């Protein structure tokens, strides 16, 4: 994604403004959860001088759909855990709702439909 920057005689890399801009772009895209393939595609569109907003929008829209799906999954997980933890008595007991959702073979919770 990034052309190798030149090195000094001492072996240190010398990053140009263009390198720093690309690194910033990559870092921000990673912060937003874009995959390396998506970032590569976005960089290609940005660097080609033909940045089609429609193509960029398509990549971002697909990523947004994935983010929304993950959020829905997390909301479902939160609901299950919240309900299960709410049923936990915090006493010493052979019937623990949290352990029951982790181990569906537990006899005591099979009766409860888990």
Nearest 5°: phi and psi at 13?
-75, 145
Please indicate, yes or no, if residue 59 is contained in any of the structural domains. Answer: no
Give the whole-angstrom CA distance, residue 106 versus residue 64.
Answer: 39
pLDDT at residue number 114: 43
Please tell me the predicted confidence (pLDDT) of residue 107: 53
Residue in the structure block whose two tokens are 């569109």: 45
Side-chain-side CA neighbours of residue 38 (13 Å):
19
Domain presence at residue 84:
no
Is residue 105 a part of any domain in this protein? no
CATH classification at residue 24: 1.10.1660.10
Q: How far apart are CA 99 and CA 114, in angstroms?
A: 11
Question: Tens-digit pLDDT profile for the chain (114 aa)?
Answer: 888 888 999 999 999 998 999 999 999 999 999 999 999 999 988 876 777 889 999 999 999 999 999 999 999 999 999 998 888 887 787 778 888 888 877 654 445 544
Residue 95 lies in a domain: no
Domain boundaries, position 47: 1-51
Q: Is residue 5 part of a domain?
A: yes
Is 3 a member of any domain? yes
The answer to the question of residue 81 being in a domain is no
């Amino acid at each position: 994604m990034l052309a190798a920057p030149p090195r000094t005689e001492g072996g240190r890399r010398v990053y140009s403004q263009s390198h720093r801009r690309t690194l910033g772009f990559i870092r921000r895209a990673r912060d937003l959860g874009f995959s390396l393939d998506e970032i590569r595609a976005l960089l290609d569109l940005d660097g080609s001088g033909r940045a089609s907003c429609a193509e960029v929008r398509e990549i971002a829209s697909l990523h947004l759909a994935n983010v929304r799906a993950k959020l829905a999954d997390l909301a479902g997980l939160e609901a299950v855990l919240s309900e299960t933890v709410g049923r936990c008595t915090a006493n010493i007991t052979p019937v623990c709702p949290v352990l029951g959702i982790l181990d569906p073979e537990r006899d005591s919770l099979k009766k409860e439909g888990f």
